[in-house]
Every structure is written in C-alpha cells, then in structure tokens.
Amino acid sequence: MKPAVLFDMDGVLLDSKAAMLATLAGVATAALGRRITIADLPPDAVTTPRVEVLARLGVPNPDELCEVWWNPALATAAGTALFPGVVEGITALRDAGAATGLVTLQTRDRLPWLLPPDVLALLDTAVCQEDAEPKPAPDGILLALARLGSSPKAALFVGDTLTDHTAAFEAGVAFAGAGWGYAGARALTATGARVVLTHPSQIGATLLDLIPGSRPPRQVTMTSH
C-alpha cells in the first residue's frame, strides 16, 4: 500500500501567524468600533479557536460576525509565506513514492489565497473545514486517507498543535510535530509527541522512516522524545 504523508497547513507549510493575528484584530476592531491591535490579543490567541478569542475581547455573536468579516480581513492581511524547503520537501516525498495531502481548518475557497499553485499541485488531496468534523476529531485525516486509498498504518500526519496531535492519535496514524509552528516544540513535547521536527527543511523523504514498516529504517535527522 502506498504510504501517505498528510500536513496541517497553518504553522506547518505556511507561515501565517502574523496574518491570522492581524485578522483577529481586524474583526475585533470592526465589531467593537475601536482599534484592537495584535498587542491587545491574548497570548494564546494563535492556538485558540477564533470565536473564543473574540468572545474574550467582548465581541458579541462572534460566530456570525466571522461569517461576514473573516474572509475579507484574511484576504487583505499581509505576512503569509511558505516556510523554506516546503516545495522541495513535498517534491522529495512524491519522488519517493508517497501520496501527499492537506488536512486544514481553512475553508476551500481560501486555499488559492494562501498557498501558491505549485504547492497545491503537489498535494494529492486537500480536506478542508467544510469536508469533515474539524480537528481534534480524526475525521479529516481518515477522509484524506480514504481518498488516497491508504490506511492509518501507512500514514504520517505532520501538525503543530495539540489538536493536530490528538487527531492523529484518534485516527491511528503516526505523528510528527512541527516545532517551528504555532504551539512550539516545547508545547508539542509536553503533549506527549514522541517526534518533534526542528526545522521545515526536515520535510522530505526521511519522514517515511517514521511510518512503521514503510521502508527499511535508516538514520533520521530530527529530535525524538
């Protein structure tokens, strides 16, 4: 069976932290009628559901307001960029015979705003917010594997938050933490992640060594816990 490597997007493939924080501040500013800056957001804003962050700031009906204002605020926010080595790493995985996929909380219509066409072309499937119950539920990971014709035993999920780790565990797939992402290496280790990558350049064919039985083991240059 073909091995599969699945990725979360924000904080793993895409450096979008500044844009997400700016979007939160923009929506809060529009809702409250006074300027909210990134400095006014809670310290854990980037790893907390947006509705909860906005509610803490006193925004009324945050769910409904996000339906109106989130997309325009995100589309005009500056500061998103691929992490270095992402294109080369995913290309190397495909060259090594792996299927690749995305499991993200972003909606499908946002993907072209956030990821360049060459990256989208390298992904065999993309499971978005509207496709499955969001993480930490395992549904999105399992749907991606079903689309790829792969199984949990032949898969790895690379994520950067506790919800990603939980989703991988519930789906029965191997997990690698992206230590450069939203939560950070220390927080991932504290959640029990046994493997935490230290740099996005570690995205590549060596990730297949983390899938039990995917190929003969060899040295993997990453941090294990």
The per-residue pLDDT for 225 is 44
* Spatial separation of the C-alpha atoms in residues 26 and 75, rounded to whole Å: 12
Residue 14 pairs in a beta bridge with 10, 82
pTM of the predicted model, to two decimals?
Answer: 0.90
95 is known as an active-site residue? no
Name the residue type at position 219: Q
The per-residue pLDDT for 213 is 63
- Quote the Cα angle for 109-139-75, to 5°: 20
Tokens of 187: 């927080």
pLDDT per residue of the chain (225 residues) written in tens, 0 to 9: 899 999 999 999 999 999 999 999 999 999 999 999 999 999 999 999 999 999 999 999 999 999 999 999 998 887 799 999 999 999 999 999 999 999 999 999 999 989 999 999 999 999 999 999 999 999 999 999 999 999 999 999 999 999 999 999 999 999 999 999 999 999 999 989 999 999 999 999 999 999 986 554 333 334 444
Out of 8, 10, 124, 160, pick the active-site residue: 8
> How buried is residue 157: exposed, middle or buried, by Cβ count under 10 Å (0-12/13-18/19+)?
buried
Per DSSP, the three-state class of 144 is helix
The per-residue pLDDT for 87 is 97
